[in-house]
Amino acid sequence: MSHHFDLIIIGAGPAGLAAAIYASRAAIKTLVIDESSAGGQVKTTHQVANYPGFIEPVSGHQLASNMKKQAEKYGTKFELAAEITDLNLVGAEKWVKADGETYTAKQIIISTGSSPRLLNVPGEKEFKGGGISYCATCDGEFYTGKDIVVVGGGNSAMEESLLLLQFVNSITVIHQFDALQAEKVTAEKMIQNPKVNILWSHEPRGFEKNGERMIITAENLKTKEMVTIERDGVFIFVGMLPNVDALKNTPLEFSKYGYIVTNENMETNIEGVYAAGDVRDKKYRQIATAVGDGTVASLEVIRKM
Amino acid sequence: MLQTNLEHVTSKEHLQQIIESNEKVAVCCGRMGPMCIPVYEVFEVFGEKYPDIKFMDMEFDNPEAAVIRSLPECSTFRGLPFTVYYRNGKVVKATTSIQNAKQIKEVIEEVLS
């Protein structure tokens, strides 16, 4: 079955929801499609303290929920937890197929955001939640008094590691470079902690299990030597990747890191297609900048319609 | 208390009553954390898409959640949330850590369709 809208927004994070609020208030018939629920990464952020308008920190879940309700109030329709199976961005009439339905529109805003990067090595998916974790606050206490590995050396990895140190007996950091990329203050706290050991210039190549324990195989990037270590668990924090899998077969222009290239009006290289938020090639990725992107994209859509 | 729009399982007896009176039940047991919230929200959406399945949540730190935490199917789990699927009163599947809508749909098609 086919459903027509003036504007389809793919992605229900802050950029998509801001765009939806502006478009719906301008009486543009708007649909937001997301393969998950509304809110993007914000909904999973414990406390947001830097978004203007809230004197006390607001829970990310609450902020995301409010944004969705605000868009709904002005008439935005939502198709959430919908699997996008195909889409066409070219030509005057664009379409998106999701969960067996076809949605058409003349304008599309892509605001699919970004997701934590996986290592994509053997054993990672198989042992997720059974020895491999991606969230210190969620799973740290399962490793109380245990010895763990943290993969990554950026800000997220080190900040999560400092939290994990409240629970664990020891942390072995596996990092691909010979210096931590985290801010100096955070990095120094880790380096000076006696419970922390760092395997510099190493990358994990696979995970296996030995009973309850994890076997981690890592490669020394300088000598190519493989080392095997045994620990109780592994936490992985290796950055973010743009959510562009569904867009790979389109003529969209991507940066060398896989983000969608736009001009300052959020226009992509395809007429009638815009990108906003973390999926767009830009320097700063914050809730406020995502909302700004979504606003600009929507105002451009409104101006052209 | 979990801040979701799902019906909350509050006790062992409550869960027993739910799985006895509903053929298909899915319970997501977690906290209001980044791995759990996406699963609750997919459950909220799926509650409308799959009206024959009862989607619920349970607070992991509630002592009564031992009814989930101590299941043999969850004995090796070390990642929140613990999500358990029941059919005709019996556990037919359990998953650990975050799951996206596609993964949850696959589980539903595998054990609750």
Interval B32-44: pLDDT, tens: 988 999 999 999 9
Instruction: Check residue B9 and give left, alpha or beta (phi > 0: left; psi -120 to 50: alpha).
Output: beta
| Known catalytic residue at A139 | yes
Structure tokens at A104: 């058409």
What is residue A137's predicted lDDT score, i.e. its pLDDT? 85
Q: Tokens 């990725």 correspond to what residue?
A: A285
Summarize pLDDT for A252-287 with one digit per residue, the tens.
Answer: 999 999 999 999 999 999 999 999 999 999 999 999
Domain ranges across chain A: 2-115+240-304, 132-236
| Percentage of chain B exceeding pLDDT 70 | 100
What is residue B40's predicted lDDT score, i.e. its pLDDT? 94
What is residue A116's predicted lDDT score, i.e. its pLDDT? 86
Dihedral Cα B72, B77, B82, B84, nearest 10 deg: -30
Summarize pLDDT for A104-150 with one digit per residue, the tens.
Answer: 999 999 999 998 899 999 999 999 999 999 999 889 999 999 999 99
For the cut 90, the answer to whether the pLDDT of residue A36 exceeds it is no
Angle at A137 between CA A190 and CA A145, to 5 degrees: 65
3-state secondary structure of A254: strand
Residues of chain B with Cβ-Cβ distance to A38 below 8 Å are 41
Say if B5 is an interface residue toward chain A (CB within 8 Å). no
Total number of domains constituting chain B = 1
Q: How far is CA A171 from CA A126, A133, B106, in A?
A: 22, 14, 35
What is residue A41's predicted lDDT score, i.e. its pLDDT? 86
Q: How far is CA A165 from CA A139, A144, A194, B34, in A?
A: 13, 9, 10, 19
Tabulate helix, strand, coil % of chain A (nearest 5).
25, 30, 45
What is residue A281's predicted lDDT score, i.e. its pLDDT? 96
Structure tokens at B55: 């989607």
Give the C-alpha separation, A35 to A259, whole Å.
19
- From A135, A147, A178, A278, the catalytic residue: A135
> Between A and B, how many residue pairs show a Cβ–Cβ distance under 8 A?
93
pLDDT (mean) for A68-86: 95
Taking each continuous run of H as one helix and of E as one strand, the counts in chain A are 6, 19
The phi and psi torsions of A141 (rounded to 5 degrees) equal -70, -20
Domain housing B77? 7-112
For residue A142, what is the nearest residue in chain B, using CA coordinates? B78
For the cut 80, the answer to whether the pLDDT of residue A1 exceeds it is no
Summarize pLDDT for A164-182 with one digit per residue, the tens.
Answer: 999 999 999 999 999 999 9
Instruction: Check residue A24 and give left, alpha or beta (phi > 0: left; psi -120 to 50: alpha).
Output: alpha
Sheet of B24-30: strands edge to edge? B7-8, B53-59, B24-30, B82-87, B90-96
- From A138, A232, A245, A281, the catalytic residue: A138
Asked whether residue B19 is domain-assigned, the answer is: yes
What is residue B111's predicted lDDT score, i.e. its pLDDT? 97
Architecture of domain A132-236: 3-Layer(bba) Sandwich (3.50)
Say if B11 is an interface residue toward chain A (CB within 8 Å). no
CB contact under 8 A, B80 and A128: no
Say if B89 is an interface residue toward chain A (CB within 8 Å). no
Q: Are residues A134 and B35 in contact, defined by beta-carbon separation less than 8 angstroms?
A: yes
Summarize pLDDT for B63-113 with one digit per residue, the tens.
Answer: 999 999 999 999 999 999 999 999 999 999 999 999 999 999 999 999 999
What is residue B85's predicted lDDT score, i.e. its pLDDT? 98
Structure tokens at B81: 């949330």
The pLDDT-based confidence of A296 (bands split at 50, 70, 90) is: very high
CB contact under 8 A, B37 and A135: no
Predicted-assembly ipTM surpassing the 0.85 threshold: no
| Percentage of chain A exceeding pLDDT 90 | 86
Asked whether residue B46 is domain-assigned, the answer is: yes
Asked whether residue B77 is domain-assigned, the answer is: yes
CATH code of the domain in which B30 resides = 3.40.30.10
For residue B72, how far is the Cα from the chain centroid?
Answer: 15
Give the C-alpha separation, A56 to A164, whole Å.
26
pLDDT (mean) for A220-233: 97
Give the C-alpha separation, A150 to A238, whole Å.
10
A2-115+240-304 CATH fold: FAD/NAD(P)-binding domain (3.50.50)
- From A6, A86, A99, A139, the catalytic residue: A139
What is residue A74's predicted lDDT score, i.e. its pLDDT? 98
